[in-house]
Amino acid sequence: MIEAVIWKNDHLDLLDQTLLPEQTIYLVLTTSEQSFEAIRNLRVRGAPAIGITAAYGLFLGMNHSMASTREEFLAELDQMIEYLSSARPTAVNLFWALDEMKKSVTAMGSTDVDTLKSVLLVRAKAIHKDDRQRCQDIGDHGKSLVPNSAGILTHCNAGALATGGIGTALGVIYKAHSENKDIMVYADETRPILQGARLTAWELNQAGVPVELICDSMSGTLMQQKKIDLVIVGADRIAADGSVANKIGTYNVAVLAAHHNIPFYVAAPLSTFDMNLDSGDSIPIEIRDSDEIRNFAGKAIIALPEIDCWNPAFDVTPPELITGIITEKGVIKPPYKQNIRLKMESAN
Ligand code: MRU
């Protein structure tokens, strides 16, 4: 299975996803600035993969630190965390991973700066490894929700390219496929960045999973024609009430699925839950450059520069449209407020 992020002794090999599917090129990252740039410009994307890259990026930055005392090191660490946190606003895994990194240093009483640096690398590797296992467990908990013969719609890319393992939504699909279930995946192309076309269709095809690519506007007709048995998507942030921020267009799919009585599942690790936010209204939504809409795939101009555009990268699907949230600790069902809290408490 393709790997988006690979740690190699002293640097990160990062698959440049902006070049897919035409070129498979790994970038060599040795600094926090390069990690920031890769996250900001979507060379690495998908909530868990962003968190993993930020964790390694923090180590790469702090490994260059000239601090001679613990206090100096911690002050620099805070600055570096603030810097990396500003790479993208919506995926909570970014902040979660950086917070985990900070906790690992503060829990370590050592005053030796080299020891603190090595603690950061150990923690970044653990976050990476842990995500790999979470994906496996999400797949195992979700696979029984897939009927033996099923048409599955997915939106954006929540696969190996978006995580440290086999993916969240696609993790469920890979596990169902490995049990010889007769599945057909319909991948929304996912305008404007085309993660569905460039990444999901490519990734599933490479893995030998049957996939058909559709334009975003076609999912309603597919449902009307009874070709979709369930929808599975990933998440960038889930509020305490079960509201799910995910790639723009996810909400449209959820409304369509509800109209057609089709189960709508979200697959995400517990690191994607933000218990500090009571509802979806307070999830920060990234607004991206208008040129992403004016140009198609960054190649053809489809609207003139004077045309105003609105380009939110994510939307929020309300809990009442979600059939279940598949996590590494099992499937959370409504009532979400209560069941998410119980799941988070039992996981701690
Ligand atoms: O803008 P992106 O490509 O980072 O958006 C990614 C998504 O919306 C994914 O569905 C989400 O991060 C889940 S990845 C397991």
- State the pLDDT at residue 299: 86
Task: Mark whether 250 and 270 lie in a shared domain.
Answer: yes
Please tell me the total count of domains within the chain.
Answer: 2
Which residues have C-beta atoms less than 6 Å from ligand 1? 45-48, 91, 156, 158, 162-163, 168, 195, 234-236, 246-247, 313
28-32, 39-43, 177-181, 298-302, range with the lowest pLDDT: 298-302
Would you place residue 122 in the very low, low, confident or very high pLDDT band (cuts 50, 70, 90)? very high
Residue range 163-169: mean pLDDT, rounded:
98
What angle do helix axes 47-63 and 92-106 make, rounded to 10 degrees? Answer: 40
Spatial neighbors of 201 by CB under 8 A, at least 6 apart, are 21, 187, 211, 213
Report pLDDT digits (tens) over 76-114. 999 999 999 999 999 999 999 999 999 999 999 888 999
Do residue 160 and residue 22 come from a single domain?
Answer: no
Residue 235 alpha carbon to ligand 1 centre in Å? 7
Q: Are residues 128 and 164 in the same domain?
A: no
pLDDT score recorded for residue 109: 85
CA–centroid distance, residue 287 to ligand 1 (Å) = 14
Spell out the residues 6+ positions from residue 206 whose beta carbon is closer than 8 angstroms to its own. Answer: 2
CATH number at residue 72: 1.20.120.420
State the distance from the centre of ligand 1 to the C-alpha of 320, rounded, in angstroms.
21
Separation of CA 177 and ligand 1 centre (Å): 22
Point out the ligand 1 atom lying closest to the alpha carbon of residue 247: 8
Condensed to tens digits (0 to 9), the pLDDT of residues 201-250 reads 999 999 999 999 999 999 999 999 999 999 999 999 999 999 999 999 99
Band (pLDDT 50/70/90 cuts) for residue 256 is very high
128 lies in the same domain as 151:
no
Identify the active-site residue in 188, 216, 236, 315.
236
Using CB atoms within 10 Å of the CB of residue 108, give its burial: 0 to 12 exposed, 13 to 18 middle, 19+ buried.
middle
Quickly state the pLDDT bin for 10 (edges 50, 70, 90): very high
- No. of helices (H) and no. of strands (E), the chain: 12, 16
Instruction: Fill in the amino acid letter for 302.
Output: I
Which pLDDT belongs to residue 298?
84
Claim to verify: residue 206 and residue 338 sit in the same structural domain: yes
Same domain, 167 and 301: yes
**Domain boundary pick from 116, 136, 156:** 136
Q: Which atom of ligand 1 is nearest to the CA of 195?
A: 3
Residue 218 has a CB neighbour count (10 Å cut-off) of 15
Please give the angle made by the CA atoms of 159, 164 and 166, to the nearest 5 degrees.
40
pLDDT at 313 over 90: yes
Q: Which CATH number covers residue 333?
A: 3.40.50.10470
Q: Considering the chain, what percentage of its residues have pLDDT values greater than 70?
A: 100
Domain that holds residue 70: 5-136
Tell me, yes or no, whether 226 and 315 share the same domain: yes
What is the tens place of the pLDDT at every residue in 18-48?
999 999 999 999 999 999 999 999 999 999 9
Catalytic residue list contains 236: yes
Q: Which of 136, 162, 191 is the last residue of a domain?
A: 136
Given a cut of 90, is residue 332 above it in pLDDT?
Answer: yes
pLDDT for the residue numbered 136: 98
